[in-house]
Structure 1
Amino acid sequence: MVEALILLVFLISGASAGWMGVHLLPQDLFNDTTNVEGVRWVLTGFGAFIGLIAGLVFRRLRQQLMRQVRTMPTDLLVSRAVGLILGLLVANLLLAPILLLPLAGAVSLVKPLAAVLSNVFFGVLGYNLAEVHGRTLLRLFNPSSTEALLVADGVLTPASAKILDTSVIIDGRIRGLLACGLLEGQVIVAQTVIDEMQQLADSANAEKRARGRRGLKLLTDLRETYGRRLVINTTRYDGAGTDDRLLQLSADTGGTLVTADFNLAQVAQVQELKVMNLSELVIALRPEVQPGDELLLKIVRQGKENNQGVGYLDDGTMVVVEGAGTAIGDRLPVVVTGALQNPSGRMVFARLEKESAAPRSAKANRPPRGNSGSKGNERPPANPR
C-alpha cells in the first residue's frame, strides 16, 4: 500500500508540474501555436512520466534504506546519524557568512549552489567519519570511564569486537582463549549462530544433537562467567546462510570474525574483513622444530615406507622417523632432519641417532643363546679341584 501511494504521489506531482508549468514557456512559442491546451496536455503527460520514473527510483532507494536500517546494529545506526547531523551543522555554520553577502544579479546564484554543495560534502564526510570512528565517539559520552579517557587522548586503541562462528563455539576452544586473555573486547554471538545450534540440538542425528547441545551449554557457561561482555546480536540479516550473515555483521560492526572454518576465513579475507582463524593460530603457537634438534620420541606405529616409524609431538605434530620401523612402542632419541608445512598441518622428518641405532643393530645381529653353532663362544668348564 505504501509503495503504491509513493508512486501515486510522484505521478500526481509530475503531472501537476507539467500542467501548471506551461506558463513558464517562452511567449514566442505561444505566438507560433494555436492549440495552447494541447501543449498543456503534452507537458502534463511528460511531467507524469518523469514523476513516475522519479517515484520508481525513490521507491528503490527507500527499500534499500529500510533494509539497511533493519539489519544495522543500533550503535552503528546512532553513530552514523550523529555524524550526519554534525556534518550538516558544520556546513550551515560555514554557510552563514556567504548567505549574508549582498550579491546581485547572476552572481546571487552562488548562494544556493554553495548551500547544496556544502551540505552534501559535509554531510557525507560526517557520515563516513562516524562509520569509521563512531564507536569511539559513543565511548566518549562516558567521561568517567578510564578507557574512554585513554581513547580520547589517543593512548589506547579501542579493541574490536570478536564475532564468534558456530565452529569455534562447538569445539570449545573459545573458552580457553577467553580464559587466557587472548581475546579482547566484546564477544558477539549472532542470533543466526544460536538458531543454527538450536537446529543441531533438535536434529535426529545423535552426533549433530550432541554438538548442538554442547555449543548451547558453552554459551550458557560463558554468559555466567563473563556477564555483559558476551553480547547477543539479534539483528536479522538477509543472506543465504549463517556464513553470509556473519560476513555482513562483521562488515557493519567492523569486528573480528573468529572461526575455525578455513573457507569462511578465506572469504572474509577476500572481502577485506578482519578474521582470526583458530586453525592458523594453533599452527602459529606450535613450538618450532629445526633440523638438527634432538627429540626423545615414542614410536607408535609403522610408516608408509619401508622401515619407517611414526611418532607424535605433544602438540599432535606427526614425526616420521627413518629406520625405526622395528622399534614400535620404544622411546628413542631422534634427530630432526626437516619439516613440511601443508594446509592441513605440519609434518616433521627425523632419523635415529647413531648411538641408539647401533645397540639395536648389534642386538639384532647377536646370535641367540643355546645355539649349536656358537660352541666356540661357550665358557670352558672350570677345572676340578
Structure 2
Amino acid sequence: MRCVAWASLITKIVLIGVCSVGGYLIAGQIERLAAYRWAPWVGVGVGFCFAFFAIWLVKTVRRLPIKVLVGGTLGLVIGLLIVKLLSFAFIGIENATIRVASSVVLVCIFGYVGMVVGSIKIEELGWPSWQLFQRSVGRGVSLKILDTSAIIDGRIIDILQAGFLEGTLVIPEFVLQELQHIADSPDPSRKLRGRRGLDMLKRLQEEELAEIRIERHHFPHLNEVDAKLAALAVRLNASIVTNDYNLSKVAEVQGIKVLNINRLASALRPVVLPGEVLRLQILKEGKEEGQGIAYLEDGTMVVVENAAKLLGQEVEASVTSILQTTGGRMIFTTLKPSESGRRH
C-alpha cells in the first residue's frame, strides 16, 4: 500500500519536473521571446500548470464510468468531423486571422456539444454488450461494496447462499483497517464485533460464494469511512451493501444505489393481520403496567396486554394493531379469553 503511494507521488514529481523543464526549453527557443530573460521562466510556469492540469484530469477521469468516457469520446470525434466538413466553407476567405478564428470557435462549440451529448445519449443505445463490457473491466452495476456493518452482521453470507446477490463483492482496504481497529479495541463488546467481522470475511473467501476483490484506493482528503465509501462507489460506479441507516441516506442523495440488509429483512417479514392468533412465549415485562413482551422468529417485538404475570409461559394472543416505526415493526396483541384465566 505504501509502495503504491510512493510510486504515485514519484511519478507526479517526475511529470511536473519534465513539463517544467520542457516549458523552460521551449520558451527559450521561441524567436520572439528569446530576447527576454524572463521568457524561459514563464515557460516553466506554463509547463508547471500543464502538469497539474494533467494530474487533475486523471483524477476526474478515474471517477467516470467507462460508458461515459466512451460516449464522450465518440461525441467529440463526431463533433470534430463536422467541423472538418464545415471548414471547407472557409477556404475562400483570404484573411487568415478570420479563417483560423472561425475554425477555433467551431472546434470549441462542436467539440463541447459532441462530448456532452455523446456522454449522455450513450445510455440510450442499450447495446447488449455493455453489460459484458462492464464486467470485463470490473466497473459497473455488478460491483457491490461491503461496509463494516454489513460484514459484521454476517447475513450477507445467507443472502449469497440463497442466490439473491450476484456480482463481485468489493472490500475496501480502509474497511479492513477499521475492522482490525475494532478487533483491537479494549472494549470487550467492540472487540467481539471486530473479530466476528474478520471471521465473516474469512468465510466469504473460503466458501467462494462470490468473487471477492480487495480495493486499495486512497482518499487522503477524506477522514470519515462513510465519505470514503461514497467516493469509492462513485469512482467504481458500484452499489453499497450496508446496515447503516445514515450511510444509506447520504449515499442515496448522491445517486448511489444502496442495498440495505435491514430493509431486505423487513420486506421479507411474514405478514401479520389484525385478528390473527399468534402463539408466543412471554420473555419479559413491558413498559406499561401488565404488559408482557414476546418476539417473533424474525425479531419483531410483540406487546401482549395483561401478560406480565405469565413470564416464561407460552400463550395464544390475538393481534389488535400493528405499528411501523423507524426502528422496526411492533405488534400489539391481547390474550385470548382462555389464556386470561391462567393468570389466576
TM-score > 0.5 by shorter chain: yes
CA positional deviation for 1:179: 0.8
Q: Structure 2 CA distance, aligned partners of 1:345 and 1:190? A: 30
User: Residue in 2 aligned with 1:174?
Assistant: 156
CA positional deviation for 1:350: 0.9
Structure 1 residue 87 and structure 2 residue 75: aligned?
Answer: yes
Long gaps (5+) in structure 1: 22-39, 149-157, 365-385
User: Residue in 1 aligned with 2:214?
Assistant: 232
Q: Structure 2 CA distance, aligned partners of 1:322 and 1:141? A: 59
Q: Structure 1 CA distance, aligned partners of 2:52 and 2:86? A: 36
Distance 1:228 1:296, change over 3 A: closer
Q: Structure 2 CA distance, aligned partners of 1:309 and 1:206? A: 31
The alignment yields a C-alpha RMSD, in angstroms, of 4.0
Name the aligned partner's letter for residue 121 of structure 1.
Answer: V
Long gaps (5+) in structure 2: 1-12
CA positional deviation for 1:219: 2.1
Verify the 8 A CA contact 2:16 2:48 in the aligned structure 1.
Answer: no
Pairing partner for 1:295 from 275, 278, 281 = 278
Mapping of residues 326-365 of structure 1, within 5 Å: 326-357=309-340, 359-360=341-342, 364=344
Pairing partner for 2:173 from 172, 186, 191 = 191
Task: Single out whichever of 275-284 and 86-95 deviates more from structure 2.
Answer: 86-95
TM-score, with length taken from structure 2:
0.75
Q: Structure 2 CA distance, aligned partners of 1:315 and 1:62? A: 54
Distance 1:81 1:304, change over 3 A: closer
User: Residue in 2 aligned with 1:121?
Assistant: 113
Name the aligned partner's letter for residue 53 of structure 2.
Answer: L
Q: Structure 1 CA distance, aligned partners of 2:214 and 2:158? A: 20
Name the aligned partner's letter for residue 97 of structure 1.
Answer: L
Residues 133-171 of structure 1: CA deviation (Å, up to 9, x unaligned): 9997665569xxxx99xxxxxxxxx85321110111122
Distance 1:200 1:337, change over 3 A: same
Distance 1:128 1:55, change over 3 A: farther
Verify the 8 A CA contact 2:230 2:251 in the aligned structure 1.
Answer: yes
Distance 1:49 1:125, change over 3 A: farther
Aligned residues, how many?
322
Structure 1 residue 322 and structure 2 residue 322: aligned?
Answer: no
Mapping of residues 25-36 of structure 1, within 5 Å: none
Distance 1:273 1:345, change over 3 A: same
User: Residue in 1 aligned with 2:233?
Assistant: 250
Give the 3-state SS of the residue equivalent to 1:314 in structure 2.
coil
Residues 294-324 of structure 1: CA deviation (Å, up to 9, x unaligned): 1122222222222222221111211111122
Distance 1:312 1:220, change over 3 A: closer
TM-score, with length taken from structure 1:
0.68
Q: Which of structures 1 and 2 has the bigger CA Rg?
A: 1
Distance 1:207 1:129, change over 3 A: farther
Pairing partner for 2:244 from 234, 240, 261 = 261
Q: Structure 2 CA distance, aligned partners of 1:186 and 1:82? A: 23
Q: Structure 1 CA distance, aligned partners of 2:127 and 2:161? A: 25
Mapping of residues 12-91 of structure 1, within 5 Å: 20=32, 58=50, 61-68=53-60, 72=62, 82-91=70-79
Q: Structure 1 CA distance, aligned partners of 2:17 and 2:41? A: 15
CA positional deviation for 1:277: 1.7
Verify the 8 A CA contact 1:10 1:51 in the aligned structure 2.
Answer: yes
Distance 1:176 1:141, change over 3 A: closer
Distance 1:90 1:181, change over 3 A: same
Verify the 8 A CA contact 2:167 2:210 in the aligned structure 1.
Answer: no
- Tell me which of the two structures has the higher relative contact order, counting C-alpha pairs closer than 8 angstroms and 6 or more residues apart: 2
CA positional deviation for 1:242: 2.0
Distance 1:184 1:354, change over 3 A: same
Verify the 8 A CA contact 1:299 1:311 in the aligned structure 2.
Answer: yes
Give the 3-state SS of the residue equivalent to 2:208 in structure 1.
helix
Distance 1:99 1:61, change over 3 A: same
Task: Single out whichever of 127-136 and 192-201 deviates more from structure 2.
Answer: 127-136
